[in-house]
Structure 1
Amino acid sequence: MKAIFFAIGLLAVSSLAFAEEEKVEEKVSKKELTESGREILKQLRELKKEEEDALAALDDEEEKDAITKILEKEEDETDKEEKELEETTEEPTRVKRAARRGARRAAARRAARRRFARRLRRNQRRAAQKRRRHARRHQRNLRRAARKIRRLQRRG
């Protein structure tokens, strides 16, 4: 029972999908195309029919397969070229924005490098001063200790 309902449901869905495809084709051919567009579409369909008839006339199956593969490759290449053309029409605005942004980034990088170099020099200078101060303090402490020892020895 479930299988029957499932099969009927699949048939209904497929028939609806097929009907929608036909409606779309009718709308495209009737509303959007002009007379010259319809003529061109008709010619293209005739060419497609002639291509299929020519392939059907061939007896050698391997040759048919080779020809169909070549035709499919050519169609794929033309599709790729069309996609690339569509993408290139959108790219110039992006490229310009990216180029401007790149200059900003370069300026920001230069500024960041300058800040880093300044901070590095400042820290190195502080470290050097700290080493000198430590050495001076150490020397003072040594002198003080030596004086203290001398004083104690004089008393002693």
Structure 2
Amino acid sequence: MAPKCPGTPKESAAKRSRKLVTIEKKLEALDRYDRGERTSVIVYAIGLNESTLRTIRANADKIRASSVAGTSASSSSQCSLARSMEMERMEKLLAQLIQNKNKHNVPISKALIQAKASSLYQNVQDENEEAKDKAKTFNASSGWFSRFKKR
């Protein structure tokens, strides 16, 4: 019998599926933690892993900022990562622009939406003084566009 390769995974080790946690659940966990509840109680009550709760606590500022930014209810149920305030604001403005164009039966293309997204992001970044220091770049790629459509 030939020996198994040392780099192959064990047959019994099953890959766990990734579970998305809603912003509402994250905020509930943060509120419980702020009230002084123990980690084990929060983990049991909400049904999260302890490492997930630690990650939520580490990103508390980003999560709260994302909820204040006005993430819509439909996208908050699927949001697993907190995005920047500039990105949230830009996408909200872009969605309003698209709705307005659709209301007036004006045809819009993918290229037009991507170009407008880039210019809106630049405008939002110029308005925000704090964002100028960070200088995050935004590329309105096809991947961003497909995720924007889903949101």
**TM-score, length-scaled by structure 1:** 0.21
Flag the structure with larger Rg: 1
Q: TM-score, normalised by structure 2?
A: 0.21
Q: Whose helix proportion is higher, 1 or 2? A: 1
